[in-house]
Structure 1
Amino acid sequence: MNEVFEIVMIFYLLMFSKISAQSFIKSDICDDVSRNSYIENELTALRELLIEEIKDIRSDLLSIPANQGPSSVPCPSEWVPFQSSCYFFGNDYGNWKHGKVQCERKHGSSKYVSISSEREDTFIRNFVRSKGITALAARDYWIGGTDAARDGVFMWEGYSREFTYKNWGPGNPDRVGSADCVILYQPSDYKWHDTSCSNNNSYICEIEF
């Protein structure tokens, strides 16, 4: 977004310089006081114009759906690009290990998804919502979070790093029984819940670039 603002500002500054110079040359303004006053008025007008343009650009960028976020990565067929990653949303079901195996088979460098920011989490949740899954289908999605290696410390599978961003659903992680794996839970609008790794769910994979 900052790059867009800079381009706009440079463009209008160039336009301002050209127009102001032409206008000033043609004018009869000669004394320093009048010249300074003229320049100050022009700069004030330019500032107001830039503020309005920035507001319009910000509004346009914020209106872009999350699943159409900026991305220049070349994704394989059936994978969805977002920022510097590609994502695969599985349609089949299986336990957590099944999803892990499927993700690793999909592409040479693909793994279970690891979610590191609110923006990434919003993109993923918006995408699964857009699939139009009904409550009757009860489709939840495995993600790469697990505390199987160290109870109570959730790590991202394949990355050996702890959660830095979290979006747990109400009362979670609840640590009930062998709830060592993490899902996006449909009844809580796809917020994170810990559950038994032996349950059957769909899965989400990621290729990071």
Structure 2
Amino acid sequence: MRIRQHETRKGTILCVVVVVIMSQVDLSYPQHVFPEHTRRQCSAIKKSDIVEYIMPGIRQLLKEDLAELRRRQQEMLDAIRGGFVLTCPYGWVYHDDNCYLFTQHRSTWQNMREHCNARGGGYLAEIGSREENEFVKEELRKRHQEHTRGSVSYFLGGTDREREGVWKWIRTGELIEFKDFKPPEPNNDKSEHCLTLFEESDFGWNDDQCDKKLHGICKISVGYKFT
């Protein structure tokens, strides 16, 4: 029934369009260009019907066609997304469209930066939110469960070498907004200008000497692979 009503409404609108067209052209134009059944149906339409049907009817048809177009577009997008999976390089950990590598070896801050860059263009991790910070800390806790109040530290990509107490991310030069320093840190003891996560404070933030050999955390945007 709904299909029949839909077709009837389409037929009515077609006739209205025909009437509008014919009213704009020479009436002597050969009218046999329209099928007989269309002429009969259209002849019953009053001019007042044009106002009643033309605008709301066409809007409704356009809305239905647009909804169908959106539905098909969404199906295509779903099919495309279904062919992709988020992937991290082997040994890296995924979180929120980024991959993290917790290094087993130790190196200076600068050498660790170079090591991260050599791993697919990565960089020493920048932590921009409490959620990300908690993710990193939890990963470190799992890796060091056997330690209690230990002295393990991991380099991050922050430094205040340019100006004491003004912490920036070395990759972008942007000021560090979110911080998780545990008092009395940062204390700049013995010229400490590189940002670390320190196990003794439950991997809270700490300033440490850049020339120390510590672990590091590399970060890189997630990659895509077609299945």
Q: TM-score, normalised by structure 2?
A: 0.57
Return the offset for 1:197: 0.7
**Match for residue 187 of structure 1 among 185, 193, 200:** 200
Return the offset for 1:179: 0.6
Go from structure 1 to structure 2 and tell me whether the alpha carbon gap of 1:85 and 1:129 turns closer, same or farther (over 3 Å shift). Answer: same
Return the offset for 1:135: 4.2
Q: Does 1:112 align with 2:124?
A: yes
Equivalence for 2:103 = 90
Q: In 2, Cα distance between the equivalents of 1:174 and 1:138?
A: 17
Q: TM-score, normalised by structure 1?
A: 0.62
- Unmatched segments (≥5 aa) in structure 1: 1-71
Other structure's SS at 1:150 match: coil
Return the offset for 1:96: 0.9
Equivalence for 2:137 = 125
Other structure's SS at 2:131 match: helix
Q: In 1, Cα distance between the equivalents of 2:114 and 2:161?
A: 17
Q: In 2, Cα distance between the equivalents of 1:150 and 1:138?
A: 27
Deviations 1:14-71 (A, max 9, x none): xxxxxxxxxxxxxxxxxxxxxxxxxxxxxxxxxxxxxxxxxxxxxxxxxxxxxxxxxx
Return the offset for 1:157: 1.7
Q: In 1, Cα distance between the equivalents of 2:151 and 2:183?
A: 18
Residue type of the alignment partner of 1:188:
S
Deviations 1:94-135 (A, max 9, x none): 111121111111113x10100000000000000010013524
Q: Does 1:142 align with 2:151?
A: no
Go from structure 1 to structure 2 and tell me whether the alpha carbon gap of 1:137 and 1:170 turns closer, same or farther (over 3 Å shift). Answer: closer
Other structure's SS at 1:103 match: helix
Computed over aligned residues only, the root mean square deviation of the Cα atoms, in angstroms, reads 1.6
Work out the number of aligned pairs and report it: 137
Moved over 4 A (4+): none
- Unmatched segments (≥5 aa) in structure 2: 1-84, 223-227
Q: Does 1:198 align with 2:211?
A: yes
Q: In 1, Cα distance between the equivalents of 2:156 and 2:135?
A: 14
Go from structure 1 to structure 2 and tell me whether the alpha carbon gap of 1:133 and 1:162 turns closer, same or farther (over 3 Å shift). Answer: farther
Identity %: 28
**Match for residue 167 of structure 1 among 173, 180, 190:** 180
